[in-house]
Chain A
């Protein structure tokens, strides 16, 4: 377990920034709610076995007592580095992103399932979209009951959505809550 180096930090932050925008600051500076310390510390990012973890400082301090091969993980995993060195966000980051994201897409209730099976979001299943979404922005996909379902990348802006035909893809799938079942062993 080690802190991220500069290159890795920029990679992670760029990915997160796509979703949160200026809220990235809040993501990193919010007071920690975990750990027994009276004075809450901050959250920090740690790399362990190619995975990036988002954990409270108190937790990290305690985790140093565990030897590296025996440590399964610390805090919330938010993504992993591939063999090629690229960074991918994983489903675990969903709660974090949902709280801080700036652009959201709401799905019609009967099309939620299709998304949870790993498909992209076509225009026909779109119920609502945040106004200033642009192509390439990260968006969090929500159900109409405001439950976060997953996240992805907007394929076209909110303006273009109006003109697009019903089958056109609006959000490209990146991760969804269905992965907890489909890729159970991969995730751990």
Chain B
């Protein structure tokens, strides 16, 4: 060991070496060796001692593994030596004595710890080379570890296999006497060995080059080429390794500016050495980067390299969105946004998202490019893409005042200009001589130049530029959204007649598109509004002819509900001043409530619709409100507690706002004078105005009062208490949440309760069931449900679970006690036996002594 490090020290001044074979060292020894080297560097008197120790250990190794066929190993080793000589002619002669130390290298068992060995080798070298910058070297070491670890599992397994083979082979060799018969076997062994070695060698070479690059990119820039050529290898693993290590290198050395082509004028000018050097560096860097990207793009088409290539591209896009060739990178990442491979798609989505979020890195230019590319992509694929590709838009961010500022600024601008002009005019009127003029011009010119430079350098955009970019992004975004809407409108009519496939399959992009429209609704131009609303109306399944069976629409219920929500949001955020009544969408919601199925549709969307349309809506007219109240009550009765609470919260809100509807809470049906032209409630009417709901009675509420869920039943009784109050009075609010929150709370509780109920012991379940049967009689139910207070219930549950817990704790403790007791007993027994034995022994001895 010491010897080797000594020889390396001699190599210090040499150029980059091709990597040597992995020396064989254990894990623990790696750490030690570092210290050793340091120690060795300071004090050379210990060399002899080290040498001695080293040889010993090596001898031990050799003796253990292949002690007998030293000759075979030697021969193999020689062969390898020859190969190496041909490959790297510039190899120093000293290698010989260096390699003398470890003939073991040729032995198969070593490769197992391949990675660690590199690490050590590199560390040693880097420490030798850059003794002063120790910390950096250590960092690099960590980096290298990372790089190599990625491929670790595969490499290891393969290595193991190889080892097995080799061990077998060697065993066979040892079994058979040396002869010409087995030369072919040897050949095989050689081949295998060489493949394995080649891989290891390339790995080492890559790692070494990478380290060198990271240490000093300026001077070692040329080794990028070498790395590239290595990654052209036939071996897949080597290629992957090469790609990954190149990625790591590029991540580190890509500058924070964009490298531009030199103009001819600039080329013509004489430059200093340093500038030349920098130029050369940049030139090489950009050439290699380009080659790398090309390679990535070409490899992406091969299935075995697909994931690696995509990962590299995503990582590059993430770290260097400002750098050259961003367009190509973006194009291929966007293309993969809708790939069928889950992993690749996720990576691309993440990359694009981070691009949108960290706009500071690229000044927003990449954002607009990405949005445009996605728009084109959607257009090309006729809106048949994976929803994730549109989902990324949700992480776009816009300034709140894009629209506003512009008008204000335009107003302000002329004034400013006038003032400025005036101030300009004043000095003009003064008699100025030519010299002053020229000087002023010079100054202004210089100032402009400086400004331009500053703008080019600074990463923060001036507000105008920023606004322009955001506007363009926005227009591309809405273009995409509107295209998707249009597409789903046109195809939904034609396609469904042909085949009735699952609805979400037809318009995969519609859901994220609607979500996006909802999010950016405040930014939509008012001029688009009419068309957008009519589009949404068509999509929500509204038709002018009501006798027609309402649905030959391909969209699912939740999608249609979402259409309603979006329409509302769009109107509300844009036309706050003019109060518009979106009647058609109310009608649609009224009908969709009946079509809701808890397993098929998303309850959350429904709750959201209730919230946006009914809860937040300013005012309902009476007939419609009554119709909705009745329908919501029916709805609450037929579905789970979460849906019920959402409906009840909305119902209560409607009753509070429309005090006239409160006579639905009273017991005489008919509605009196208010029930307009429809005297009888028609539960199946499609138009809320014609349902005659005012003539009905809300009998559902008194049933709901006995609901098993305490929050639902309390809500129902709270609503019923409204009947006794004045129209102007409102009952004490018990739950001040909107329907969506109420829904979420309850559904969450339900989720939480599920596993708990499963884990309950059987007898408890039985008890419960028994109770349920009893509870069917209303009196008992009343007693059971109405008397239970929340606190009481909590306390009871607490005490119950405390008892359970103490029982289990008791059992555990008892078990422990038994265990210790038994062990003590055992020990006693053991002691007794021992004593007996001793006694016997003693007596025996005594006897012997006596004899």
Residues of A within 8 A of B (CB): 21-23, 25-26, 30, 33, 95-96, 98-100, 102-104, 106, 126-132, 142, 144, 146, 158-159, 161-162
- 14 sampled A-B residue pairs with Cβ under 8 A: A22-B546, A26-B687, A96-B677, A106-B581, A128-B579, A129-B578, A129-B579, A129-B581, A131-B582, A132-B533, A132-B584, A159-B530, A162-B526, A162-B578
Contacts of A25 in B (CB 8 A): 547
A142 to B621, Cβ gap below 8 A? yes
B766: shortest Cβ distance to chain A, in Å? 54
B690 to A26, Cβ gap below 8 A? yes
Given A30-B678, A95-B677, A159-B529: A104 in contact with B547 (beta carbons within 8 A): no
A145: shortest Cβ distance to chain B, in Å? 8
B260: shortest Cβ distance to chain A, in Å? 49
B583: shortest Cβ distance to chain A, in Å? 5
Contacts of B679 in A (CB 8 A): 33
Contacts of B800 in A (CB 8 A): none
A22 to B580, Cβ gap below 8 A? no
Given A25-B547, A162-B526: A102 in contact with B583 (beta carbons within 8 A): yes
B690 to A131, Cβ gap below 8 A? no
Contact mask for chain B residues 164-178; partner A; CB cutoff 8 A; 1 contact, 0 none: 000000000000000
Contacts of B530 in A (CB 8 A): 159
B450 within 8 A of A: no
B532: shortest Cβ distance to chain A, in Å? 12
B578 to A22, Cβ gap below 8 A? no
- Of the residues B533, B544, B583, contact of A22 by C-beta under 8 Å: B544
A29: shortest Cβ distance to chain B, in Å? 11
Measured CA separation A100–B676 after assembly (Å): 10
B575 within 8 A of A: yes
- In this complex, what residue of B is CB-closest to A159? B530
Contacts of A146 in B (CB 8 A): 621-623
Contacts of A128 in B (CB 8 A): 579-581, 619
A22 to B677, Cβ gap below 8 A? no
A30 to B677, Cβ gap below 8 A? yes
**CB neighbors of A among B634-660 (8 A):** none
Interface centre among A22, A25, A106, A129, by most chain B C-beta atoms within 10 angstroms, is A22
A131 to B677, Cβ gap below 8 A? no
Measured CA separation A179–B405 after assembly (Å): 51
Contacts of A33 in B (CB 8 A): 679
A129 to B580, Cβ gap below 8 A? yes
Closest 7 CB pairs of A and B: A128-B579, A99-B677, A146-B621, A131-B582, A146-B622, A130-B581, A131-B580
- Of the residues B533, B545, B577, B623, contact of A131 by C-beta under 8 Å: B533
Measured CA separation A131–B572 after assembly (Å): 12
- In this complex, what residue of B is CB-closest to A127? B579
B695: shortest Cβ distance to chain A, in Å? 11
B589: shortest Cβ distance to chain A, in Å? 14
- Of the residues B545, B575, B676, contact of A162 by C-beta under 8 Å: B575
B571 within 8 A of A: yes
B690 to A23, Cβ gap below 8 A? yes
B689 within 8 A of A: yes
B690 to A100, Cβ gap below 8 A? yes
- In this complex, what residue of B is CB-closest to A128? B579
- In this complex, what residue of B is CB-closest to A147? B622
A78: shortest Cβ distance to chain B, in Å? 13
Size range of the chain B interface in the assembly: 20 to 34
Contacts of A127 in B (CB 8 A): 579
Measured CA separation A103–B580 after assembly (Å): 11
A100 to B689, Cβ gap below 8 A? yes
Given A23-B690, A99-B689: A130 in contact with B580 (beta carbons within 8 A): yes
- Of the residues A95, A102, A130, A144, contact of B676 by C-beta under 8 Å: A95
Measured CA separation A158–B547 after assembly (Å): 26
Given A21-B544, A142-B621, A146-B621: A131 in contact with B583 (beta carbons within 8 A): yes
Given A21-B544, A142-B621, A146-B621: A131 in contact with B571 (beta carbons within 8 A): yes
Contacts of B619 in A (CB 8 A): 128, 144
Contacts of B537 in A (CB 8 A): 132
Measured CA separation A56–B547 after assembly (Å): 24
Measured CA separation A106–B583 after assembly (Å): 13
Given A22-B546, A23-B687, A142-B621: A99 in contact with B583 (beta carbons within 8 A): no
B579 to A131, Cβ gap below 8 A? no
Contacts of B546 in A (CB 8 A): 22-23
Measured CA separation A48–B835 after assembly (Å): 131
Contact mask for chain B residues 543-559; partner A; CB cutoff 8 A; 1 contact, 0 none: 01111000000000000
Measured CA separation A101–B548 after assembly (Å): 19
Measured CA separation A129–B621 after assembly (Å): 12
Interface centre among B547, B582, B690, by most chain A C-beta atoms within 10 angstroms, is B690
B614: shortest Cβ distance to chain A, in Å? 16
- In this complex, what residue of B is CB-closest to A157? B530
A22 to B547, Cβ gap below 8 A? yes
Contacts of B676 in A (CB 8 A): 95, 98-99
- In this complex, what residue of A is CB-closest to B579? A128
B559: shortest Cβ distance to chain A, in Å? 21
- In this complex, what residue of B is CB-closest to A105? B581
Measured CA separation A135–B23 after assembly (Å): 90
Contact mask for chain B residues 287-331; partner A; CB cutoff 8 A; 1 contact, 0 none: 000000000000000000000000000000000000000000000
- In this complex, what residue of A is CB-closest to B689? A99
Contacts of B583 in A (CB 8 A): 102-104, 130-132
A99 to B678, Cβ gap below 8 A? yes
A70: shortest Cβ distance to chain B, in Å? 29
Given A30-B678, A99-B678, A142-B621: A161 in contact with B584 (beta carbons within 8 A): no
Contacts of A30 in B (CB 8 A): 677-678
Interface centre among A21, A127, A159, by most chain B C-beta atoms within 10 angstroms, is A159
Given A142-B621, A162-B526: A131 in contact with B689 (beta carbons within 8 A): no
Contact mask for chain B residues 584-628; partner A; CB cutoff 8 A; 1 contact, 0 none: 110000000000000000000000000000000001011100000
B545 to A22, Cβ gap below 8 A? yes
Measured CA separation A22–B543 after assembly (Å): 10
Contact mask for chain B residues 511-546; partner A; CB cutoff 8 A; 1 contact, 0 none: 000000000000000100110010001000000111
Contacts of B575 in A (CB 8 A): 162
B592: shortest Cβ distance to chain A, in Å? 18
Measured CA separation A38–B544 after assembly (Å): 35
Contacts of A21 in B (CB 8 A): 544
B732: shortest Cβ distance to chain A, in Å? 26
Measured CA separation A33–B537 after assembly (Å): 35
A170: shortest Cβ distance to chain B, in Å? 11
- In this complex, what residue of B is CB-closest to A26? B690
Measured CA separation A127–B689 after assembly (Å): 20
